[in-house]
Structure formats: structure tokens, C-alpha cells
Amino acid sequence: MNLDLNTLLEGWPHEPGQIRVRRIRGVDGKEKIQLRLDLGLIQMEVAGRPDGLRPNGFESLLDWHKTRASEAEAEEQSYTLNGDECGELHQEGVQYYHRYLALFQLEDFKGVVRDTQHNLDLFAFVSKYAEREEISWSFEQFRPYVLMMNTRAKASIDLERGNIAGAIAHIERSRDSILEMLHARPEPAETCPELEFLTEWLGELQGKRPLSKLEMMEQEMDRAVAAEAYERAAELRDAIRAFRAKEETPDAASATSSSAPPSNKKATAPAKPKRVRAPKAPKALKPIKALKPLKEVKAVKEAKPTKKAKAPKTARAPRKNSRSKE
């Protein structure tokens, strides 16, 4: 058996600043994802834990800890994650990070939503059960980025279906969530690339969204006022008021439509919406171009959160027995 990786990497060069990804069929017959690095590659499973392991029979280490926490709370006992356990969860999060970056490049947006949601849930779990606050922060600091990637995937799915309004709604919710996180921080960051990207993308999509009848009347009224066509502006103002009043009383509108005589016109199918692609990240941001792993978890032994974090220990098999918090 030839163990030289060059046979696998031949014809697939590494490109600095670029994420090179491909799908392959493994010897087990299952599909795999390979991510090219400067010194080789990472191979990951398409579903489940990226390394293919099942900690204590669970799909992920997070799922196992969730089960233990639920069992402890059912017995009215506390549940706490120590530094080593947080380190193991951190390593699992890095695996999912690598895979959702690869899936995004492959435009497997459903897979991106799944893996980013796993890490968002992981952050929330550690924040709830970590025994030290600085350990919790070492995870939560990445929430804006993961939330942005989760939103990019969800919005991209809507855009593939021609649902611009749905994509806009996802972006607005994510933007508001990130703003809330930034305001809650004791020392708000001066800049947030994730927020800047979402705001720019939102502006682009809003420009492509078809105007509603009300918006068209409002724009026409503004033009009439600018042209000093006050009589026309007054007519439009009254029409806008009537339109809003009609929207506020849907029962009356439905009653009127039900009493109207049936139309002989043949109904026509609505036009198929045009597919709108998600724009690339601005050159100044490039949120998916930097393949940097999450920062290491600060170990429990550290007295101050400002010290440089040490790399967590290699993942080990978690203990089966629940621990009560002293």
C-alpha cells in the first residue's frame, strides 16, 4: 500500500487564500468531503460528526453532554463542564467549522445550515454549563461569524427559489441579533465585519425586491411633490390612505370580494420568479476565505482571561457518570 499523499494531491494544488474542496467516494462506498490545505488535506464525513466517530454511541459529543445534563436536571442535580470537557467540545466545533466552510464552497447550503446550527447550539450549551465565565467567552466570541454563515446559507436557499423577501427577512433577523450581541458586550468592538457584510448584502437585495403597490404610489407621490404637481400629489395621498385603510380591514375586503360576481377570465399562473444568486463577500471582508481554526479554549488553570490561551488537550472519551456541582 502506497502511503505517499502526493498521489492523492497530484493535479489538485493548494492555492493560498482559496478554499479548495472536492467530493470523493470512500473505500466504504460512502461520499466524503476533502478540504485541501497547504501541507495536505482534511477528509470529512458528509453527515454526523466530521471525523466519523460516535462518542459513547451519540452522533456528537454535544448530544452526549446534552443527554447527561438533562438526566442530571431531572434528578434535581447541577451539571457543570470543566476545562477539559470544554476543550473537547471546542475540538468538535472546529471539525464542524471546517466542514461547513467546505459545504459552503460546494453550495450545499442545507448542510451549512445544519453544521452552523450545531456550533451555535454548542456555544449556548457551553455558556450555560461552563464552570468559568472566561471559557464561555472563548466560544461566544465566534457567534457573530457563525450566525452570519448560517444566515448566508438560509438566505441563499431562499434566493435559489426566487424568494427575495424570505432572504431579506433572514438577513434582517441576523443583523438585529448581532447588533444585540454587540451592545451587550462590556467593551463593544469598533468594527464588526459580519455586520458590515450583512448590511451591504441587505441593501443589494432590497434594491432587487419588486415594489409593492403601496410603495409605488408613495414614490409617485414624492415625484409629484418634487415636480410641484400638488393636485396629483393630493390624489395619490388620498389613494394611499384608502389603500392602508383597506389593508387594516381585511374582513370588509373579503366580504366585498365574496359578493362580487364571478369573473369569466381564465386565471393565469404567476410568472416564475427569477433566480437571484447570493453576492460574493466584499473583498475587504472575505469571511469564508480565511481558513483559521477557532481560538483555543482558555484552560481552567488560567487565573486571568487576558493571558494567551493554551491549546486544549486531545479529545478523550468522556466519563459516563454525571457530576454534581459542589
Can you give the pLDDT at residue 218? 81
Range of the domain at 181: 161-209
| Whether residues 126 and 185 fall in one domain | no
Residue 220 belongs to a domain:
yes
| Whether residues 67 and 122 fall in one domain | yes
Residue range 158-177: mean pLDDT, rounded: 93
Those residues with Cβ within 8 angstroms of residue 309's Cβ, 6 or more apart along the chain or in another chain: 138, 295, 296, 297, 298, 299, 302
| Whether residues 43 and 67 fall in one domain | yes
Q: How far, in Å, CA of 308 to CA of 74, rounded?
A: 38
pLDDT tens figures, 191-208: 889 999 999 999 999 887
Taking alpha carbons only, the member of 166, 142, 162 closest to residue 154 is: 166
Residue 270 belongs to a domain:
no
Q: How far, in Å, CA of 197 to CA of 281, rounded?
A: 7
| Whether residues 99 and 19 fall in one domain | yes
Can you give the pLDDT at residue 210? 66
pLDDT tens figures, 199-241: 999 999 988 776 667 767 787 788 888 888 888 888 888 888 8
Strand partners for 232: none
pTM listed for this prediction? 0.67
Residue 281 belongs to a domain:
no
CA angle, residues 72, 77, 82, in degrees to nearest 5: 75
| Whether residues 84 and 96 fall in one domain | yes
DSSP character string of 58-121: SSSHHHHHHHHHHHHHHTT----B-HHHHHHHHHHHHHHHHHHHHHHHTT-HHHHHHHHHHHHH
Can you give the pLDDT at residue 149? 97
Q: What is the largest CA-CA distance in the chain?
A: 87
Q: Are 119 and 94 in contact (CB under 8 A)?
A: no
Those residues with Cβ within 8 angstroms of residue 141's Cβ, 6 or more apart along the chain or in another chain: 295
Residue 210: strand, helix, or coil:
coil
Between residues 287 and 150, which one has the greater pLDDT?
150
Residue 187 belongs to a domain:
yes
pLDDT over threshold 70, residue 254:
no
| Whether residues 81 and 181 fall in one domain | no
